[in-house]
Homo-oligomer: A and B are copies of this chain.
């Protein structure tokens, strides 16, 4: 007998028919003799409805009240799924975050899970019960108030529950059948991966792939929880395996590049003719950090006269206007001539643990993009990925070019 966490997202529990379908998936695993904890999201659309009400009540809403309202969505799904499971003859009970309890920080709306007391769920296992846990939520021990984990938080709940009950694996059921080499809507030849390393998945998620929340992949990596991404729309009697996210050592045959990710949520800011002196970078980036504006890529290029420099950085589209306003305010103090900005850019990244042992991987990309006439505005690299910032108009061309370059295209059947 092994222990299993099964997580179902909003589209998988969008109505009663789909909840009944989820119950069949759970029954299959129980019938195979596994102990099962299920983590559920709110029914698709419910969270948006609740958030809209909160914002209608006040644009400057109290995040503690936001959490109390929005957490109700998962509570409803958990109760309904418990009933649907009982109807199939399985023992089951729902657990709200505060009942487990899932203890979180008090950063309402973006709380982090601090601890999960698993003894109640494990007692249920001994009684043969399926635990149906409301995802996305917990409770702050100090105040006793409900806190939510932020969008996509149910993935994190699932992995954290898996770690707490020492599950043998965590199955994330979603509306796609696994993790792809890139977005199949952009590259029809994208292939489903059988396996992907935690580190690679972390980069993929961070760099724009939306299949899993970044925090959930981090947790899975730290706790070594083998995690499958698979489809809830498969026949419950004969589902496909999906993609396994696992340790690098469990991937037998690895390619140099595993996947191509891209993010349109990028904005570029360039400061022209900064005085090139020690401390100039700090004078730009410390105010941005204090304002809570995340900066991603940074490049600095000396101008021809050796006394000035141009500084380019990227941030999210959401922070773009605030960043421009802040720097314009401090123009005199920082000492630059002009500020140029654009949200018409995209970041394309190639990810693969194989880059560690292969030199020149990024260089091939620069050549291939150049051959297609794509201008690179900025580059960042790390041990297992590199990213290029390019004009948004070239997104599809760049992604397809790199996908083919690194041998990721599906071979026609």
Residues of A within 8 A of B (CB): 16, 19-20, 50, 53-54, 56-58, 60-62, 64-66, 68-69, 71-73, 75-76, 78-84, 86-87, 93-94, 96, 98-99, 144-146
Contact = CB atoms under 8 A, between A and B. Distances in A.
Of listed A50, A72, A73, residue having the most chain B CB within 10 A: A72
B16 A57 contact: yes
Contacts of A20: 57
B98 A83 contact: no
Contacts of A50: 76
Contact of A68 (B87, B94, B145): B94
Given A57-B83, A68-B78, A99-B145, 16 more contacts: A20-B57, A50-B76, A53-B80, A54-B80, A57-B87, A61-B86, A62-B86, A65-B82, A65-B83, A68-B82, A69-B75, A69-B76, A71-B75, A72-B72, A72-B75, A75-B75
A249 to B, nearest CB: 42
Contacts of A75: 68-69, 71-72, 75
A320 to B, nearest CB: 28
B93 A80 contact: no
A99 B54 CA distance: 21
Contact of A58 (B61, B69, B83): B83
Contacts of A53: 16, 76, 80
Contacts of A146: 96
A68 B94 CA distance: 8
Nearest to A144: B99
Of listed A80, A93, A96, A146, residue having the most chain B CB within 10 A: A80
Contacts of A83: 54, 57-58, 61-62, 65-66
Contacts of A87: 57-58, 60
A98 B146 CA distance: 11
Contacts of A84: 57-58
Contacts of A94: 65, 68
A99 B96 CA distance: 13
A72 B82 CA distance: 16
Contacts of A98: 98
A146 B96 CA distance: 10
